[in-house]
């Protein structure tokens, strides 16, 4: 029950509407055109009841009809309705332009924000939920914004115009309308203020569903290998049921608004008809035509309230989705490179001075870590899972900043140089490969877009990828799908190695770079790597200790600390941590 109370009290984050208006305000010409067209639409819409009232007054009695005046009135009504139809169409075009351009810019800003977010955000948030914010939430926001704009401008002008005409016609009856109408506003506001929490829950659950579906597709082989289909289907059904419930709750409670406001507005209409009829019966200067005009205006006056309450579902949903997008846009970005200098081409001197780091405050990982690597040295990093090997790589590349101490390249703190210039000095091949949608040639060229075809082929040969590439349907011009399409994991890793062979950066990071490659090919690549690392500072993370015996320095890590360091022979002779780790792989 407590959870329900907290959900019911959820409200729209402060500033959401202001942020939406800030985006909308970037299109002043379209807004001005919409306002002008709304004024034209409302003006002619309100003019038609006057013409109808005049037409009724032309019918004095049986056989006493002023047909000559009626024909002129009919023509004016036809022209007015035609102008109204054209103005409404043009206003719809303007509203569509505003809505879709706002969402286009919002998506561009959200996607651009992703490129500036720290890796800690990506690591701590479900990727599917982030995708849902940029794609699904933006689409829902677009739909709600379009409906809101369509009703807002014409609604405000209709209310103002009808009030003016009603006060001119009969201020006494107009006062009745003005005093009763706030009931409609109160009902609409009360219901809508209590439905936001339902739409917020709906949007969050939709993001959870997208995240789970993406996870399921990405790991389908693993799911099938462990026969986990039934459990995944059960979990998906559970999320789907929660989405169904939150969607039904949101729609049900928001749908109460329209019939409630219609009841109040029909009450207004009935009061106007009753009071107007009494005026006519009392002999006041109030004709049947005047009553017809007034009834039409009373209907026109209450119509915007009905329309706005009718789209309250979409509006609440749109604001809930907008709040999730603005939440993403409001996330803390990576520290700025403003004032940082370019590193230039590094010599390869890397040092870590008393480094402290943890992903979560209070959970220690790396403490007082110091290391000096000279240019051209090959440093191997070994240790059990979770000892901090990959974390060390993240600090070298400045994917994360240290919480204490400093990481230096050529004597310069990496926080004082731009990230781009730092990372351009590293070549990186990871156990987890990444290939973009594009041709084989474009994927190899990623690090050097200006490389010639001959250089691309030479890099592929050096990495022993040329053979399988030439067997592909279109060779180097074969298009690859998402994450490499039908290529095997080993083939993908060879392409990533070819990418580094093409760039030839001064420093290298090889994190299980040959983990998915067969032993025979690995031996061949070993020669290429030996040539590649010659004269270059390189960091090699490996679980197979047989691959690091030629390293200049081996760092044996445990619990975020270097417990041993030296050459392969020195560490074996010490018969310590590395000795036990090495021999455990051959027992």
Instruction: Find the CATH number of the domain harbouring 579.
Output: 3.40.50.300
Query: What is the predicted pLDDT for the residue at 3?
Result: 42
- My answer on whether 271 and 398 are in the same domain is no
C-beta of residue 537 within 8 angstroms of C-beta of residue 518: no
Query: What is the predicted pLDDT for the residue at 406?
Result: 92
- My answer on whether 362 and 453 are in the same domain is yes
- My answer on whether 304 and 409 are in the same domain is no
Residues 479-531 pLDDT 10s: 887 666 778 777 887 888 888 888 888 898 888 766 666 677 667 666 667 77
- My answer on whether 461 and 403 are in the same domain is yes
Residues 97-114 pLDDT 10s: 888 888 888 888 988 888
- Look at 404 and 42; give whichever has higher pLDDT: 404
Q: Does a structural domain hold residue 310?
A: yes
Burial 524-563 (b: 16+ CB within 10 A, else e): ebeebbeebbeebbbbbbbbebebbeebbbbbbbbebebe
Own/partner pairs for 74-78, CB < 8 Å, 24+ apart?
76/51, 77/48, 77/51, 77/52
Q: What are phi and psi of 10, to 5 degrees?
A: -60, 135
Q: Does a structural domain hold residue 47?
A: no
Q: Does a structural domain hold residue 502?
A: yes
The Cα-based distances of 46 to 75, 163, 300, 435 in angstroms read 16, 11, 8, 62
Measured distance CA(431)–CA(228) in Å, rounded: 25
- My answer on whether 248 and 133 are in the same domain is yes
Measured distance CA(335)–CA(117) in Å, rounded: 9
Measured distance CA(136)–CA(193) in Å, rounded: 23
- My answer on whether 432 and 568 are in the same domain is yes
Lowest mean pLDDT of 119-123, 339-343, 414-418, 463-467, name the range: 119-123
CATH number at residue 258: 1.20.1560.10
191 Cβ neighbours under 8 A, 6+ residues apart: 253, 254, 256, 257, 260, 312
Query: What is the predicted pLDDT for the residue at 514?
Result: 66
With a cut of 70, say whether residue 63 has pLDDT above it.
no
Query: What is the predicted pLDDT for the residue at 408?
Result: 92
What band does 9 get if pLDDT is binned at 50, 70 and 90? Answer: very low
Query: What is the predicted pLDDT for the residue at 320?
Result: 80
Sheet holding 537-541, edge to edge: 426-429, 507-511, 537-541, 378-382, 553-558, 561-566
- My answer on whether 419 and 295 are in the same domain is no
With a cut of 60, say whether residue 436 has pLDDT above it.
yes
Measured distance CA(360)–CA(362) in Å, rounded: 6
With a cut of 80, say whether residue 401 has pLDDT above it.
yes
Residues 195-206 pLDDT 10s: 767 777 888 888
Query: What is the predicted pLDDT for the residue at 327?
Result: 86
- Look at 498 and 585; give whichever has higher pLDDT: 498
Domain count within the chain: 2
The range of the structural domain enclosing residue 358 comes to: 350-584
pTM for the predicted model, two decimal places? 0.63
Q: Hey, what's the torsion of the CAs at 10, 15, 17, 23, to 10 degrees?
A: -140
With a cut of 50, say whether residue 28 has pLDDT above it.
yes
Q: Does a structural domain hold residue 9?
A: no
| Nearest of 16, 40, 312, 321 to residue 189 by alpha carbon | 312
Q: Does a structural domain hold residue 11?
A: no
- My answer on whether 419 and 508 are in the same domain is yes
What band does 2 get if pLDDT is binned at 50, 70 and 90? Answer: very low
C-beta of residue 544 within 8 angstroms of C-beta of residue 479: no
Query: What is the predicted pLDDT for the residue at 214?
Result: 78
* CB atoms inside a 10 Å sphere around CB 268: 22
Q: Tell the residue number behind the tokens 């025979």, with chain if given.
A: 520
Lowest mean pLDDT of 298-302, 338-342, 400-404, 462-466, name the range: 298-302
With a cut of 70, say whether residue 365 has pLDDT above it.
yes
Q: Does a structural domain hold residue 166?
A: yes
- My answer on whether 230 and 356 are in the same domain is no
Q: What is the mean pLDDT of the chain?
A: 80
Q: DSSP E strands: which ranges in 19-86? A: 59-61, 64-65
Q: Does a structural domain hold residue 380?
A: yes
With a cut of 70, say whether residue 174 has pLDDT above it.
yes
- Report the percent of the chain where pLDDT is more than 90: 2
The domain boundary, picked from 329, 364, 383, lies at 329
Measured distance CA(330)–CA(209) in Å, rounded: 23
- Look at 63 and 146; give whichever has higher pLDDT: 146
With a cut of 90, say whether residue 86 has pLDDT above it.
yes
Read off the pLDDT of each residue in 250-278 and give the average, rounded to a whole number.
Answer: 75
3-class DSSP state of 60: strand
- My answer on whether 303 and 399 are in the same domain is no
Rg of the Cα trace of the chain? 35
- My answer on whether 267 and 375 are in the same domain is no
The domain boundary, picked from 298, 329, 360, lies at 329
Query: What is the predicted pLDDT for the residue at 182?
Result: 66
Residues 148-171 pLDDT 10s: 666 766 777 777 888 887 787 777
Q: Across the strands, what pairs with 584?
A: none
- My answer on whether 294 and 426 are in the same domain is no
Query: What is the predicted pLDDT for the residue at 83?
Result: 92
Q: Tell the residue number behind the tokens 């003006």, with chain if given.
A: 43
Read off the pLDDT of each residue in 575-587 and give the average, rounded to a whole number.
Answer: 79
3-class DSSP state of 389: helix
Residues 566-579 pLDDT 10s: 888 888 888 888 88
3-class DSSP state of 538: strand
Query: What is the predicted pLDDT for the residue at 516?
Result: 61
The domain boundary, picked from 329, 360, 391, lies at 329
3-class DSSP state of 379: strand
3-class DSSP state of 412: strand
User: For residue 288, with 0-12 CB atoms within 10 Å meaning exposed, 13-18 middle and 19 or more buried, which class applies?
Assistant: middle
Lowest mean pLDDT of 149-153, 364-368, 562-566, name the range: 149-153
Instruction: Report how many helices (DSSP H) and strands (DSSP E) the chain contains, helices first.
Output: 24, 14
Q: Does a structural domain hold residue 434?
A: yes
With a cut of 70, say whether residue 270 has pLDDT above it.
yes
């Amino acid at each position: 029950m407590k959870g329900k109370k907290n959900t019911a009290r959820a409200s729209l984050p402060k500033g959401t509407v202001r942020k939406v208006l800030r985006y909308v305000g970037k299109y002043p010409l379209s807004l001005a055109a919409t306002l002008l067209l709304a004024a034209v639409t409302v003006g002619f819409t309100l003019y038609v009841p006057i013409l109808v009232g005049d037409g009724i007054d032309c019918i004095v009695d049986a056989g006493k009809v002023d047909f000559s005046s009626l024909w002129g009135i009919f023509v004016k009504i036809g022209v007015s309705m035609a102008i109204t139809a054209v103005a409404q169409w043009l206003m719809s075009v303007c509203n569509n332009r505003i809505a879709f351009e706002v969402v286009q810019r919002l998506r561009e800003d959200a996607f651009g924000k992703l490129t500036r977010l720290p890796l800690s955000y990506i690591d701590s948030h479900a990727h599917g939920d982030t995708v849902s914010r940029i794609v699904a939430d933006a689409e829902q926001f677009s739909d709600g914004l379009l409906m809101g704009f369509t009703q807002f401008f014409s609604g405000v002008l209709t209310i103002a115009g009808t009030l003016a005409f009603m006060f001119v016609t009969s201020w006494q009856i107009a006062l009745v309308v003005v005093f009763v109408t706030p009931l409609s506003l109160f009902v609409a506001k009360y219901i809508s203020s209590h439905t936001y929490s339902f739409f917020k829950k709906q949007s969050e659950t939709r993001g959870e569903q997208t995240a789970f579906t993406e996870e399921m597709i990405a790991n389908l082989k693993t799911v099938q290998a462990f026969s986990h289909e039934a459990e995944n289907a059960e979990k998906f059904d559970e999320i789907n049921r929660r989405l169904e419930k939150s969607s039904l709750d949101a729609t049900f409670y928001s749908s109460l608004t329209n019939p409630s406001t219609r009841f109040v507005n029909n009450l207004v209409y009935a009061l106007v008809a009753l009071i107007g009829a009494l005026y006519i019966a009392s002999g006041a200067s109030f004709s049947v035509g005047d009553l017809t005009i007034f009834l039409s205006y009373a209907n026109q006056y209450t119509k915007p309230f009905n329309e706005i309450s009718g789209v309250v579902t979409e509006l609440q949903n749109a604001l809930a989705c907008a709040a999730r997008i603005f939440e993403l846009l409001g996330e803390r970005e990576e520290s700025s490179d403003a004032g940082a200098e370019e590193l230039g081409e590094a010599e390869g001197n890397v040092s870590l001075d008393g480094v402290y780091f943890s992903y979560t405050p209070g959970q220690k990982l790396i403490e007082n870590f110091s290391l000096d690597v000279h240019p051209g040295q090959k440093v191997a990093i070994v240790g059990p899972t979770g000892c901090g090997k990959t974390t060390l790589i993240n600090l070298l590349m400045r994917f994360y900043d240290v919480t204490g101490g400093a990481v230096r390249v050529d004597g310069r703190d990496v926080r004082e140089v731009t990230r781009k210039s730092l990372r351009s000095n590293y070549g990186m091949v990871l156990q987890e490969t990444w290939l973009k949608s594009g041709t084989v040639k474009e994927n190899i060229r990623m690090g050097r877009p200006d490389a010639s075809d001959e250089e691309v082929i030479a890099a592929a040969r050096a990495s022993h990828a040329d053979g399988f590439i030439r067997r592909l349907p279109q060779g180097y011009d074969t298009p690859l799908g998402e994450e490499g399409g039908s290529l095997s994991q080993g083939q993908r890793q060879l392409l990533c190695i070819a990418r580094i062979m093409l760039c030839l950066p001064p420093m290298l990071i090889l994190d299980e770079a040959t983990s998915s490659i067969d032993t025979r090919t690995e031996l061949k690549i070993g020669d290429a790597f030996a040539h590649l690392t010659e004269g270059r500072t390189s960091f090699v993370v490996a679980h197979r200790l047989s691959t690091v015996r030629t390293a200049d320095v081996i760092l044996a890590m445990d619990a975020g600390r270097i417990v041993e360091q030296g050459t392969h022979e020195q560490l074996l002779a010490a018969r310590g941590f590395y000795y036990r780790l090495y021999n455990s792989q051959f027992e």
